[in-house]
């Protein structure tokens, strides 16, 4: 129902479709969007059909309604904004060409800045699965998105080779993310070409880590330079390491772990090594194939009493939460096997930041709902929350009366 004095627009569009933008405008208020657009040097006249603020929301809506065409997304967006009196003027659905030109003019910078200023840790002290002792559990991992086959995208991002040595059908952009294990919220991200390794791009994220963080990573990230970069800000690390890595036993500890050190590949004398604690274990699970070599973890937590080996071995399973997070982003939100829309590199980056923003907004909503119901966020369905964001968010929840 409209509030007193509010005139319901004449339209045959469903109310739930008109106001689905509410989650995004609540998470990313118009005043904040305007400020970031201004700081990015992308502000423009406000009486145009597609002023910068509306283009920002269009990109977000485009990622929320990833299966819809430009004109349909624009219609849902502009009707939702008009209903909430956040954008005035005669309504007219912009043409796809006009939308494309507006996106080019906006560029990726405002979306990236919006993510950097709004994304961050979501978990509270009471959030289940978010903590181990004093440490916030975070994980790092990467994924790729297929992008349209254009010369510009190919030159910027590159593409993989098939097993026969042929080029893949589409170029790919690589995305590396830090995520909270307890909430699946992506707190920081970096983009790069497919030809750049995840471990290299990840270095852009390590400055965000602090003394309260325990960062988990798979064996693809292990290396002395990455190890030192990730721990430079005081964060503790728990990383899996390859089975062929040389880890000499320096001192055995009562819990079965031992102190060792890691060195650069060319440092055979280990003259410039970093001390680590090693935890080796095997999985005795009938549903899993047996491995001849044990799993090996290395950690900066050298005190076995503060973090016993059995607890860290069990805790490392939480690293898989970021795998689920990236699956939410790619498979459920973007859509399975879908190629991004943008034929230019700037458009690709703008679109990826839009997807990251939408995912963070949904995860914030899920965490709030879980806290209110006093339940674990893992018990809530991301797919259902995504559907809710698309069809049932009310204007009253998104805007102050």
pLDDT of res. 337: 84
Q: Is 267 helix (H, G, I), strand (E, B) or coil?
A: coil
**Contact between residue 365 and residue 122 where contact means Cβ atoms under 8 Å apart:** no
Q: How far apart are CA 275 and CA 248, in angstroms?
A: 11
Residues 6+ apart with CB under 8 A from 78: 54, 87, 91, 93
Q: How far apart are CA 339 and CA 170, in angstroms?
A: 8
**Contact between residue 342 and residue 148 where contact means Cβ atoms under 8 Å apart:** yes
Q: How far apart are CA 46 and CA 139, in angstroms?
A: 41
pLDDT of res. 91: 52
Would you say residue 85 has pLDDT above 60? no
Report CA dihedral (10, 12, 14, 19) to the nearest 10 degrees: -40
pLDDT of res. 87: 46
pLDDT tens digits, 22-63: 788 889 988 999 999 999 998 865 546 678 888 898 899 899
**Does this model's pTM top 0.75?**
yes
Q: Could you give phi then psi for residue 161, rounded to 5 degrees?
A: -100, 150
Would you say residue 8 has pLDDT above 80? no
Q: What is the mean pLDDT of residues 229-255?
A: 95
- Residue of 2, 18, 20 whose CA lies nearest to 390: 20
Cα→Cα distances 162→139, 173, 193, Å: 29, 17, 17
pLDDT of res. 10: 42
pLDDT of res. 69: 85
pLDDT tens digits, 311-356: 999 999 999 999 999 999 999 999 988 999 999 999 999 999 999 9
Q: How far apart are CA 14 and CA 22, in angstroms?
A: 14
Q: What is the DSSP string of 299-328?
A: ES---TTTS-HHHHHHHGGGGHHHHHHHHI
Alpha-carbon Rg of the chain, whole angstroms?
24
Q: What is the DSSP string of 193-221?
A: ETTS-HHHHGGGTGGG--TTEEEEE-GGG
- Residue of 38, 68, 72, 71 whose CA lies nearest to 56: 38
Would you say residue 3 has pLDDT above 50? no
pLDDT of res. 178: 98
Q: How far apart are CA 355 and CA 63, in angstroms?
A: 5
The neighbour count for residue 391, using CB atoms within 10 Å, is 13
**Contact between residue 319 and residue 132 where contact means Cβ atoms under 8 Å apart:** no
DSSP symbol at 166 = P
């Amino acid at each position: 129902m409209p509030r007193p004095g509010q005139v319901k627009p004449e339209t045959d569009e469903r109310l739930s479709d008109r106001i689905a933008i509410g989650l995004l405008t609540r998470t990313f208020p118009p005043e904040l969007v305007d400020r970031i657009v201004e700081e990015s040097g992308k502000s423009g006249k406000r009486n145009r059909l597609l002023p910068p603020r509306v283009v920002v929301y269009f990109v977000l809506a485009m990622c929320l309604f990833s299966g819809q065409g430009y004109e349909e997304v624009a219609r849902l967006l502009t009707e939702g904004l008009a209903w909430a009196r956040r954008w005035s003027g005669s309504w007219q659905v912009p043409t796809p060409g006009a939308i494309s030109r507006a996106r080019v003019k906006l560029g990726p910078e405002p979306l990236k800045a919006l993510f950097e200023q709004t994304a961050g840790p979501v978990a509270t002290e009471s959030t289940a699965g978010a903590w181990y002792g004093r440490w916030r559990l975070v994980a790092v991992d990467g994924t790729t998105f297929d992008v349209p086959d254009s010369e510009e995208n190919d030159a910027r991002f590159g593409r993989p080779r098939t097993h026969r040595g042929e080029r893949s059908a589409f170029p790919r952009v690589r995305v590396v993310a830090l995520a909270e294990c307890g909430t699946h919220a992506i707190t920081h991200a970096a983009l790069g070409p497919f030809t750049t390794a995840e471990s290299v791009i990840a270095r852009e994220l390590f400055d965000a880590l602090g003394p309260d963080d325990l960062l988990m990573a798979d064996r693809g990230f292990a290396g002395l330079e990455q190890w030192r970069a990730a721990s430079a800000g005081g964060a503790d690390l728990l990383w899996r390491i390859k089975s062929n890595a040389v880890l000499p036993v320096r001192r055995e500890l009562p819990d079965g772990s031992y102190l060792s050190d890691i060195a650069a590949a060319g440092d055979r004398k280990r003259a410039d090594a970093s001390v680590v604690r090693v935890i080796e274990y095997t999985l005795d699970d009938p549903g899993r194939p047996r491995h001849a070599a044990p799993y090996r973890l290395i950690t900066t937590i050298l005190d076995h009493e503060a973090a016993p080996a059995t607890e860290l071995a069990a805790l490392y399973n939480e690293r898989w939460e970021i795998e689920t997070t990236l699956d939410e982003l790619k498979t459920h939100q973007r859509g399975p096997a879908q190629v991004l829309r943008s034929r230019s590199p700037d458009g690709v980056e703008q679109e990826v930041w839009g997807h990251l923003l939408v995912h963070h907004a949904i995860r914030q909503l899920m965490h709030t709902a879980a806290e209110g119901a006093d339940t674990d966020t893992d018990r809530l369905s991301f797919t259902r929350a995504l559907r809710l964001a698309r069809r049932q968010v009310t204007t009253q929840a998104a805007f102050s009366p």
